């Protein structure tokens, strides 16, 4: 993927209840790589687990959240796999009640028309990562779905179908589509708080990405915080790694040898350079650009080609903004857009 150097995009969630306000922010501050926003304050159905739970067997949305209901387990599993085998992505769509931001985003793109679309380099979509999704739910035996082999497979296949539905929906606009897999649960992977082994994560990511990947689709992974980065860097199906560059760049830089291979096969880094919960409004484009430049200097010293690092650089906030207030979100995206312009104009 070329020609995206320094462009800005968002992670997913925004704190708006008004869909149009959220979309105004997206298209104003991320004009080159706009994204559809999750709006959990608008409706709890837009939370990252609830939003992707529709049509998955034995999962039911309630006012208290998503629950596991096994009453018609066999029937629902049979229906689910029938739709998967048939390639019926429309069955797995995100409905308007669960994703007002997605449908509003689609309508905005339609209104732009061919002339307006010329200014867009790529369209960013996303799914909740299968491990984050599974870790949030338990089966009828109070076992985390992470450790339920049947439903872990359901989640992997279901998320792939929901990603493919998005690809099919947005391909009419003729733009490169980027699908982010949002995996906050895997921050801290390898600790006692994430009781899942590396082989399981690697196999799951390989299965998911191979189902989504195509010539016109690039796959990114977002993980805020620190993790065992080679699980993403070494994954052949992942094209973009989005990380908290404001707080955790030094941890990622430990894996420079892995990153060399990642860049050689066309990988990109999306630097989550604008802090979110830690944002103080004292951050400037110059300061954040200098922080990125120091990171590039370090990786260049470790043998990664500087031009390759610069050409394959996107930026974003360090995490989603769904829990913040609207004023702070606006400030964060203002600095993000200014940083993007600074990087593009300085290099």
Kind of pairing, strands 313-317 and 268-274? parallel
Q: Where are the alpha helices (DSSP H) in the chain?
A: 19-29, 73-85, 100-117, 130-135, 149-170, 198-212, 230-233, 245-252, 256-264, 285-301, 306-311, 326-346
CA-atom Rg of the chain in angstroms: 19
Is pTM beyond 0.85? Reply is yes
**pLDDT at position 214:** 80
CB of 9 closer than 8 Å to CB of 314: yes
Task: Evaluate whether the domain defined by 19-346 bears CATH number 3.40.720.
Answer: no
Asked whether the predicted pLDDT for residue 19 surpasses 90, the reply is yes
Quick one: tokens of 282?
A: 């004292």
**Digit-coded pLDDT (tens) for 134-167:** 999 999 999 999 999 999 999 999 999 999 999 9
**Digit-coded pLDDT (tens) for 55-88:** 999 999 998 899 999 999 999 999 999 999 999 9
Spatial separation of the C-alpha atoms in residues 33 and 225, rounded to whole Å: 23
Residue boundaries of the structural domains of the chain: 19-346
Task: State the average pLDDT for the chain.
Answer: 95
**Digit-coded pLDDT (tens) for 282-332:** 999 999 999 999 999 999 999 999 999 999 999 999 999 999 999 999 999
CB burial string 85-121: b at 16+ within 10 A, e below: eeeebebbbbeeebbbbbbbbbebbeeeeeeeeeebb
Dihedral over Cα of 317, 312, 212, 36: its sign: positive
**Digit-coded pLDDT (tens) for 230-275:** 999 999 999 999 999 999 899 899 999 999 999 999 999 999 999 9
**pLDDT at position 144:** 94
**pLDDT at position 3:** 76
Quick one: tokens of 210?
A: 């191979």
**Digit-coded pLDDT (tens) for 192-215:** 566 788 999 999 999 999 999 887
Which residues lie across from 144 on neighbouring strands? 138
Query: By percentage, how much of the chain surpasses pLDDT 90?
Result: 89
Asked whether the predicted pLDDT for residue 96 surpasses 90, the reply is yes
Could you write out the DSSP letters of every residue in 164-219?
HHHHHHHGGG--EEEEEEE-GGGTTTTSTTS---HHHHHHHHHHHHHHH-BTTEEE
| Coil vs helix vs strand at 35 | strand
């Amino acid at each position: 993927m070329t020609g995206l150097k320094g462009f800005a995009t968002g992670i997913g969630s925004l704190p708006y209840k008004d869909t149009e306000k959220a979309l105004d922010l997206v298209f104003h501050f991320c004009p080159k790589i706009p994204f559809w926003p999750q709006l959990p304050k608008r409706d709890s159905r837009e939370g990252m687990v609830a939003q992707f739970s529709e049509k998955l067997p034995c999962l039911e949305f309630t006012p208290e959240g998503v629950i596991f209901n096994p009453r018609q387990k066999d029937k629902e599993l049979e229906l689910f796999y029938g739709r998967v085998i048939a390639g019926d992505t429309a069955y797995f769509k995100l409905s308007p009640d669960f994703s007002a931001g997605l449908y509003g985003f689609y309508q905005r793109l339609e209104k732009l028309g061919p002339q307006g679309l010329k200014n867009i380099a790529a369209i960013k979509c996303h799914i909740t990562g299968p491990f984050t999704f599974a870790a949030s739910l338990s089966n009828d035996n109070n076992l985390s779905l992470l450790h339920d082999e049947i439903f872990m497979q359901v989640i992997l296949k279901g998320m792939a179908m929901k990603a493919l539905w998005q690809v099919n929906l947005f391909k009419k606009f003729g733009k490169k589509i980027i699908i982010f897999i949002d995996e906050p649960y895997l921050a801290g992977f390898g600790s006692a708080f994430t009781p899942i082994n590396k082989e399981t994560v690697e196999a799951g990511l390989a299965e998911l990405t191979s189902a989504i990947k195509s010539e016109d689709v690039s796959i990114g992974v977002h993980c805020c915080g620190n993790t065992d980065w080679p699980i993403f860097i070494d994954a052949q199906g992942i094209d973009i790694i989005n990380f908290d560059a404001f707080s955790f760049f030094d941890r990622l830089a430990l894996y420079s040898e892995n990153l060399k291979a990642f860049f050689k096969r066309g990988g990109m880094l999306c630097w989550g350079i604008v802090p979110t919960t830690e944002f103080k409004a004292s951050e400037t484009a110059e300061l954040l650009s200098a922080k990125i430049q120091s990171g590039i200097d370090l990786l260049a010293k470790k043998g990664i080609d500087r031009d390759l690092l610069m050409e394959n650089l996107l930026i974003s906030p360090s995490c989603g903004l769904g829990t913040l207030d609207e004023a702070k979100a606006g400030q964060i995206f203002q600095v993000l857009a200014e940083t993007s312009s600074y990087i593009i104009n300085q290099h």
